[in-house]
Structure 1
Amino acid sequence: MPDLIAQGKRRQDRWRRRLPALSPPIVLGREAGAWSIAWDPCVSRHHLQFRMRDGLLVVERLPQARNPVFFRGEAVDQCQLEVGEHFVVGDTTFALVDHRAEVSIAAPVPDNQQTFSPGYLREVGFRQAHQQIQALMRLPDILADTEIKPELYGRLVDLLLTSITSSRGAAIVAADALSGPDATSMRVLHWDRTDGVLTQLQPSATLIRESLTTGQSIVHAWHRRTVSSESLQQQEFDWAFCTPIPGADCRGIAIYVAGETGTSAPADALHDALKFVELVATAVGNACDMRALRQQAAALSHFFSPPVREAVAAAGVDSALAPRETEVSVMFCDLRGFSRRSEQQAADLFGLLQRVSEALGLATHEILEHRGVIGDFHGDAVMGFWGWPVLDGDRVTHACRAALAIRDAFETAADSSQPIFSGFRSAIGLATGVAVAGKIGTVDQVKVTAFGPVVNTAARLEGITRIFDVGIL
């Protein structure tokens, strides 16, 4: 898909965003999130909306916009742009471009190469601290406001190009594999260049591979006399450096910056730039890891009650979820009426799935509400247990109270006006005994569950509730 480039009067008033192929209309304005034009007072808070349609960018001025949209020299309320065209609002030009960036193995051997470890860059100070601190003050807002990674990459590239005065191009790059001589496993996630050159950016595969392999910032520099018209240096860059983004969530991702320093020695001229990018990379890596941990915690919330989640967070996932033998109370809860409903709704399986999911949700809610763990789902049945990963002296009481609450919830739902629960009843088997609980499974698939005869006993007790015509046994 094409990109939309916004460029104001000043060099730093700029961004480049990839246009989504299929999306509702996107609003652009002075306060429009990732599509904001904060630098131009002529742009209203919500000035226009646009979307891609049949390869054209369809732009529509919003009624509340104070100033016109100019397209091909005329004020318009609506226009359609082809790639290569632009429109103007106030002092900002918006260009529709379709330039791709690809990692290249054609970069010449650098005349100079220097390596800087993260530890070294942390120890040295900024030479122009005020300028870099001003730029770093923007980083927390970028990390806090941007949850989607493609948007994060775009705003990071904007920050790099507007903060490093000698930069002319920047990219966020990723390597799926670091072995082999070619660049087929490397991708450019987002890029931009501010030197007015319309050709694509071609980051050096060699530089990216060396940086990611060593985990250090590496600078490549070329003398002007070595510039080759067939190489990366056609873009008039005389230096480039690459800095890995640390952390598990950003493994294999790096920041790539290229530009020109004139007659200055690259290492001296890039001193502050290297330290600045190292700080940015560290902050981004830490933020992404924290975001991943929050997502893991949200995923765990579907299986563990809050007290159990707190124990897992305190001990660490690997330690807390390690399989161990312990005494547990197990519940096996089955939906009565499922077989009959599945026959009746054979032509509407998605509808049946929704009904079963809603019904099982009544059971899982009560298991979690009573400090239990969701162990597994077996078709129309759910297994929960108590006594792991934290010892629970009241596990039997919690399991029994959860069973009574599930029975009451189904009875209440069946008597309500909600047809989704009609025809369903609960059948529950409870058993207490020794089991192995934790992360259990094979190399290919792991579940957090309990394993042992007590689980089979609970399932059998649920099965014979029919014989005694009771809901809980």
Structure 2
Amino acid sequence: MAELFARDTLSSQRWRRRLVPNQPFIIGRTTLAFPVAWDKQVSSKHAQLTWNGAQLEVRQFQEAVNPIFFNSQPESTFWLKPGQHFVIGHTEFLLENTEPSFPLPHRSPKTEVTIHPNEIRKAAFRKTPGRIELLTEMVSKMTSCNDHEQLVTITLQQLLEGITHSNDVVLLEQRTRKDKTRFVPIAWDSRDGLSTPGGSSQSLIEHATQSEMCVLHVWSNDPMPSGSDYTQVAGHDWAMCIPLKFQLNKSGALYLSGRRAQLKGNLTEVELLQDDIKFAELVGSTFANLSRNLALERRQSQLNQFFTPGLLEGISSDLESYLSPREADLVILFCDLRGFSAATEEHFDRLIPYLQQTSETLSTITSAILAEQGVIGDFHGDAVMGFWGWPKDTLQQPLGALNAAQKIIRTLAGTDFLCCEKPPQAGIGIAAGRAVAGMIGSRDQVKVTAFGPPVNLAARIEGLTKPLGVPLLLDEAAKQFLQNDPSIPADHFVRLGNFRLAGLKNPTQIYTVQPDKLAWLSEYMQALACFEAGQWAQAIELLQQVPVSFGPRTLLLNQIAEHHGQSPAGWDGVIERRTK
């Protein structure tokens, strides 16, 4: 595992961050994940770095004022190997490729102290000078964090600062694999800021986490007999473990170890270390609470991308159950933008403006869905899927999908986009039926989606909007559901034909919405009936009375022309679509 370790050579400020292969990041004075706020010689955004699994590429931004020194020479682009470092201002950046040791068996302690966290909080410090001030400073620093890694860094530093005879501090996380549970080091720090903590005591961690108690072990300084199966961390003769629940109910622990405290006054070594337990528990509980708050804020921010606030109001504390995948009667809306793929190929030199335009247009679509109490499902490139009927069991907004679709069409047609000669166009397909909807993913990453027959059908129906030249199409089930609303007139929907869509076995009756009374609509409906009955000569005569601009007219005439004006043997009136 590779880490970047940054330290201020003029103070004790520092951090270390785990590196993800092939994931670029930026270091600078104001960057969120890799901040160097203590050094004014570091620009707001100074350099972009990328770890490829073997080396770290460093590229300085042109706008960065001060140079980056690598091997004592100013360099703007270079590669760093583990063990090497570079300098900006008075800050040193060291690339490390090390792993801390996993918990190991230790010999039984000479002294063990086990205290319930509630009892620790009730007890007063025996030796208070400096503790209260440090705790006040700690709370101020920790509550100002808006990033979990930054919170972890400050927590570990505060523990080392507050417990002066501690050498190492490790944050462990419980992980289960193949029915075997173990505690894995996920972050650590040491007194010198550079060395990697040694192995922690497996028995101490197990005792603390299983009992949910704060546990202190003090070992004897006597040397172990040769051939012993137990380990001893060089120079460390005490350790403590504080069990934690951090982020969204992750189980873990804080583990501190160091050299025996020098006794002062009438305090015994255990009494002095009990003060340290209290300090560590206060820091640990503060960290755990703030960590959960950050995780909840992040989860809420993620959920706000998918839900309108009204859908999340009144949720019980069991959010996982409320949003868990389950079957429901859904109305699915699938909206795809027209012409953006071709435009990016034609104007590849203007990808950034087109990306910005696509983002703005997608925001218009998602806003319309959320405004009608819908849920944002997957994004498929420049397409958006929204749905109604979940997480609430009943469809609270029966016309939500239709209203959202009409708003999208109206808004896009009237939007002035600088990068296109014409306003953006969208095709929208709506289908209804039984499907599965829910939130899937990990505690930290959220994805809300729906899957099932109506989802596939809505996407296929959307694909039909292009050959039909009609921006909004629905299936029979969606039309019937929407007609249950008393405000919808009986003639609001117009049937366009019976289609067997690509990849689907059963035919689908396709409808659109009649925005205005159309004088020629009866001629089209008669023509469609003649077409489906195989009376194609009469269908052609009637279609001549329908405006050329009406796309379904052209599609029917093309179908007739493909068969040279004669309906084929076994004709059932179903139009086959072989492409999506």
Q: Is the pair's TM-score, using the shorter chain for normalization, greater than 0.5?
A: yes
- Displacement after TM superposition at 1:299 (Å): 2.7
Residues of 2 paired with 1:77 and 1:378: CA distance?
Answer: 45
Contact 1:406/1:426 (CA < 8 Å) preserved in 2? Answer: no
- Structure-2 residue corresponding to 1:458: 478
Q: What aligned pairs does 1:37-48 form with structure 2 within 5 A after superposition? A: 38=38, 44-46=40-42
Distance 1:415 1:378, change over 3 A: closer
The residue aligned with 2:546 is: none
Is residue 2:289 matched to residue 1:289? Answer: no
8 Å Cα contact 2:3/2:18 also seen in 1: yes
Q: 1:469 to 1:418 in 2, by over 3 A?
A: farther
After TM superposition, give the deviation of residue 258 of structure 1 in Å: 0.6
Q: Is the 8 A contact 1:371 1:386 kept in 2?
A: no
2:159 is matched with: 160
Q: Which residue of 2 aligns with 1:225?
A: 222
Q: Give 1:141 deviation, angstroms.
A: 4.6
- Whether the 8 Å CA contact 2:110–2:220 is kept in 1: the answer is yes
Query: Is 1:369 aligned with 2:371?
Result: yes
Structure 2 residue aligned with 1:134: 133
In structure 2, what is the Cα distance between the partners aligned to 1:97 and 1:341?
44
Per mean C-alpha deviation after superposition, the further-off stretch among 376-385 and 197-206 is 376-385
Q: Percent identity?
A: 21
**Pairwise CA distance, 1:404:** 3.2
Report 1:96-115 matches (<5 A): 100-115=99-114
2:214 maps to a residue whose letter is S
> Relative to 1, partners in 2 of residues 1:418 and 1:386: Cα closer, same or farther, differing over 3 Å?
farther
Structure 1: gaps (5+ residues)? none
CA contact (8 A) 1:438 1:449 kept: yes
What is the CA–CA distance in structure 2 between the aligned matches of 1:440 and 1:57, rounded to whole Å? 37
Q: Find the counterpart in structure 2 of residue 268 from structure 1.
A: 271
Alignment partners' CA distance in 2, 1:70 and 1:398? 59
User: Which position in structure 1 is the counterpart of 2:427?
Assistant: 425
Across the aligned residues of Structure 1 and Structure 2, the Cα RMSD in angstroms comes to: 5.7
Name which one, 1 or 2, has greater alpha-carbon Rg: 2
Counterpart of 1:26, as a letter, is I
Q: For the Cα contact (< 8 Å) 1:171–1:191, is it kept in 2?
A: yes
Q: Which residue of 2 is the match for residue 471 of structure 1?
A: 513
Q: 1:37 to 1:165 in 2, by over 3 A?
A: farther
- Please tell me whether the aligned partners of residues 153 and 189 of structure 1 are also in contact (alpha carbons under 8 angstroms): no
Which position in structure 2 is the counterpart of 1:26? 27
Deviations 1:134-163 (A, max 9, x none): 222333454445444444333322111111
Q: Distance in 1 between matches of 2:308 and 2:68?
A: 54
Distance 1:457 1:288, change over 3 A: same
2:406 aligned residue: 404
CA contact (8 A) 1:157 1:192 kept: yes
Which residue identity does 2:7 align to in structure 1? A
Shift of 1:44: 3.9
Q: Is the 8 A contact 1:246 1:281 kept in 2?
A: no
Residues 143, 152 of structure 1: 8 Å contact kept: yes
User: Is the contact made by 1:388 and 1:437 (CA closer than 8 Å) also made in structure 2?
Assistant: no
- Provide the rounded CA distance (Å) in 1 between the counterparts of 2:188 and 2:84: 20
CA distance in structure 2 between the aligned counterparts of 1:59 and 1:437, rounded to whole angstroms: 46
Report SS of the residue matched to 2:14.
strand
Contact 1:19 1:52 in 2 (8 A): no
Find the aligned partners of 2:179 and 2:332 in 1 and give their Cα distance. Answer: 52
8 Å CA contact 1:331–1:429 kept in 2: the answer is: yes
Alpha-carbon distance change, 356 to 58 in structure 1, aligned in 2, over 3 angstroms: closer
Question: Which is further off, 461-470 or 147-156?
Answer: 461-470
* Cα deviation, residue 241, structure 1: 0.5
Whether the 8 Å CA contact 2:117–2:281 is kept in 1: the answer is yes
Amino acid at match of 1:117: H
Indicate whether 1:204 and 2:204 are aligned.
no
Amino acid at match of 2:410: D
String of CA shifts for 1:323-371, please: whole Å, max 9, x gaps: 9999x9x754455898x999x99x99xx9xx999987764442121133
Aligned twin of 2:577: none
Q: Give the partner amino acid of 2:281.
A: E
Secondary structure at 1:119 match in 2: helix
Change (3 A) 1:7 1:220: farther
Bigger shift: residues 281-290 or 260-269? 260-269
| 1:401–1:284 Cα change, 3 Å | same
Opposite residue 408 of structure 2, the aligned amino acid is I
TM-score normalised by the chain length of structure 1: 0.69
Deviates more, 1:266-275 or 1:149-158: 149-158
**Cα 1:400/1:299, change in 2 over 3 Å:** same
Tell me, yes or no, if the aligned pair for 2:368 and 2:408 is still in contact at 8 Å: yes
TM-score scaled by structure 2?
Answer: 0.58
What is the total number of aligned residue pairs between the two structures? 445
1:304 alignment partner, SS class: coil
Aligned mate of 2:314, from 308, 311, 314: 311
**Could you say if the C-alpha distance between residues 92 and 235 of structure 1 is closer, same or farther in structure 2, counting changes exceeding 3 Å?**
farther
Partner of 2:542: none
Letter in 1 for 2:208: S
